Structure formats: structure tokens, C-alpha cells
Structure 1
Amino acid sequence: MPRRVDHEERRAHITAALLRIAGTRGLQAVSMREVAAEAGISLRLVQYYVSDKPTLLRLGLDELAARLDRRIRERAAARGAGLAPRAVLEVVLTSILPVDEASRLDRMAWSAYFAVALTDPALLAGATNHPDALEDWLTTVLVRARDSGDVNSGREPRTEVAALLALTNGLSDSVVGGQRDADAALAILDYQLDRLFDRSTPA
């Protein structure tokens, strides 16, 4: 009896091929034909599952966000239930940093998407705005931390979160660019979180 095709599995296989290309050669190297070759399937099969390149790129962006979400959930589970706000921020931000080969390639793919957004924003029109959603959620975490007295009451939560995300993204680029290693980036991030959660530090 022929094996039943798992359509979600096939679509995930195609998306993974796209992200391998994006993480190693950039999105300028992405075409339906190149993705088919990377996935080891026919072009017609790729076109059956994905109607056009913009749809393919949006699937890749959604998968990058899903991978980050899975890393966050795995690290949070390893830390146990009831994480304090500082631990929540630490888990999320360190999940963004490229600390191994898989997260390094994901970071390269994120950078490829960012470059496309700068030069050809129409190509990603309608894509889910994952960065804004993450910033909104972390802001609610820091609001609770401020209201509970874990951080100085003069801190402005959204500004602090935006600064932490900007720092993390900058550190990520410095790691993939070879300026510093992952351990150094983690130490800098830990230092900044210590300052934020030190209630004696002026806002």
C-alpha cells in the first residue's frame, strides 16, 4: 500500500530547504527552482504546495519565528515552572543569540530577510510582524516586574525592552560576523540584565 503523503510534513520540508539557502547564500539566491533542487524534489511539486515566491518567503519567515518560539519554550521548560521576570527576559534574549550552528544559520536567514525588507518591501507585504509581537509581549513582562518592584519604578518598560532587543540583535550580528564569540555576547547581555534588575541603579 503506498505511503500516505503528509502535506504539512512536505510543506515543512520545502520551507526548511528555503531557509538553508537563505542562511548560506541569502534570499537573492532563492527561486522556486533552487528550493526544489535543495529539497531534492521536482519544481512542479514545490509549485503544488507554494503558489509563488512571496508566499514561499512568508512561509520561511513564519518558520523562523516558530523555531525561535520552540527554542524559548524548550529553555523555559528546562528552567522549570514559575520563572521570575528576569529569567523570562534572559530565556527569550539568549534564545535569539546564535550560540550554535542551527541558531547561527537562523540568524543569517533573519538577516537575509531584513535586507530584503530594506530593498524590496513589497516582496514581504502582508508578512506577520513577529518582531513587534515579541516586543509587545516582553513589555508586558517588564511592566509586571516594575509594578512588583523587581526593577526601579522610573524605568519605562517598552523603551527598556526595545533597548534590550536592539542590544541582542547587535550582539547576534557581532557573533556571526566574528567580532566576538557567543560566550562574550552572553556575558554582555547578562551584565545589562543585572543593571536593569538592580533597583539601586538610577532609571
Structure 2
Amino acid sequence: MPVRVDHDARRTQIIDGLLALAADRGLGEVTMRGVADAAGVSLRLVQYYFGTKELLIAAAMDHLARSSEQRLRERVDALTEPVTSRALIEAYLAEALPDDPPSRQFHLVFRAFLALAATTRSPLRSPADGVRINRNRLLGILTEAAQSGELTPGHDPALETDRLMALEHGIGTGILIGLYTPQTVAPILAQHLDELFTA
């Protein structure tokens, strides 16, 4: 009887190998053979499923985006009703900051993808698309907060969206390089949100 292969699981295994390798050594050091070794499979199998390094990186980028979106959805689903705009922002920031080993890996590799997209020409979807999606998400939340009276009067939703994005990316980078810890940034974020939202 022929052995049944779970192709999705095999692809995920290979992508996990790439992510581990990229987080440890940087995206520039990633090779198809290195990914095969990290995933515990043959080079031939990596080539069979992904063809080229560019296609493998694109698949890994999509995998990261889907995984992050799923984790954010789970955080939002776990919120206690009624869900406030501030609670949605807090859930977003909890997902957006590298506060444990899996999220640290995510942010290290995602930043490497951003740098690669900024320095190469590729027809593949850019990770910057995900940043724009998140900006639109935040803008939607803050626009609704302004309409419902949750946003402190005098705050412009578009301006506050960009301030939040800048704060998120700056703090996230600071955590990655050891300048901050998740514990030391908590009061910074809390104070900012206190100013942003009415009690």
C-alpha cells in the first residue's frame, strides 16, 4: 500500500526550516541546501516543493503573514464583550511586539523580508503590503473610536494611526536589539493609550 504524504505538512516543515535559519543567521545566509538541512529533508525535496529560493522565500513570507493574522484573530476573539477600540488596539500591539521566542523569530525574519524587498526588484508580493494592511486596520479602529466618542477629542485618527505605527515599529526594534523588554515598554504603551482614549 503506498505511503500517503501530507504535502501541506511537508511544505510547512520546509518553511519552518527556512524561518529558523533566517532568524539565526540572517536572510542573506539562507540557501536551499541550508534550508533542507534545517528542515531535516533532502535538497531535492525542497526543490520539488518550491522550485527556487525566491519562491521559497515568498511562501515563507505568506506563511508568516497568515500565522500573524491567525494569532491576532485569536486574541480579538478572546476579548471580553463589549469590545472597546482600546482593547482592539491593545490586542494588535500584543501581537505586533516580539515578546516571546516565536514572535521574536517572526519579527526578525519579517524585518529581513522588508529589507530584501527594499533592495531588490521582484514580482512577488512585498511584505510592505502587510504593513499597509495593518495601517488600514488601525485607521479603521481609530476612525470608529472617533465616531463613537472613545477617542479623546482633538486627536486626528489618521495622525494617531501613524504615531501608533511609528511607536510600534520603534519599540519592536528596541526589544529585538535589547534596548527594551516587554516589561519596560508596558508603561510607555499604557500612557500613550491613556492619552489617546477617553476613560
- TM-score normalized by the length of structure 2: 0.91
Secondary structure in structure 1 of the residue aligned to 2:192: helix
The 1:123–1:33 alpha-carbon spacing in structure 2 relative to 1, beyond 3 Å, is farther
Q: Which runs of 5+ in 2 are unaligned?
A: none
Residue identity matched to 2:45 = L
> Partners in 2 of 1:36 and 1:81 — Cα distance?
46
Instruction: Give the corresponding residue for 1:140.
Output: 140
The 1:174–1:96 alpha-carbon spacing in structure 2 relative to 1, beyond 3 Å, is same
The alpha-carbon deviation at position 45 of structure 1 amounts to: 0.7
The alpha-carbon deviation at position 73 of structure 1 amounts to: 2.1
Secondary structure in structure 1 of the residue aligned to 2:36: helix
Deviates more, 1:81-90 or 1:67-76: 67-76
> Partners in 2 of 1:85 and 1:165 — Cα distance?
16
Instruction: Give the corresponding residue for 2:116.
Output: 116
Taking only the aligned residue pairs, the percentage that are identical comes to 36
The alpha-carbon deviation at position 143 of structure 1 amounts to: 0.8
**Any residues of structure 2 matched to 1:163-202 within 5 Å, and which?**
163-198=163-198
The 1:132–1:72 alpha-carbon spacing in structure 2 relative to 1, beyond 3 Å, is same
Segments of 4+ in structure 1 off by > 6 A? none
Task: Report the aligned-residue RMSD.
Answer: 1.8
Instruction: Give the corresponding residue for 1:107.
Output: 107
Q: Which runs of 5+ in 1 are unaligned?
A: none
> What do residues 75-117 of structure 1 show as CA deviations (whole Å, max 9, x unaligned)?
2233234421110011011211111111111111112112212
Residue identity matched to 1:171 = I
Instruction: Give the corresponding residue for 2:154.
Output: 154
> Partners in 2 of 1:133 and 1:157 — Cα distance?
16
Relative contact order higher in (CA < 8 Å, ≥ 6 apart) = 1
Instruction: Give the corresponding residue for 1:90.
Output: 90
Q: Does 1:18 align with 2:13?
A: no
Aligned residues: 198
The alpha-carbon deviation at position 40 of structure 1 amounts to: 0.7
Indicate conservation of the 8 Å contact 2:19/2:109, yes or no. Answer: yes
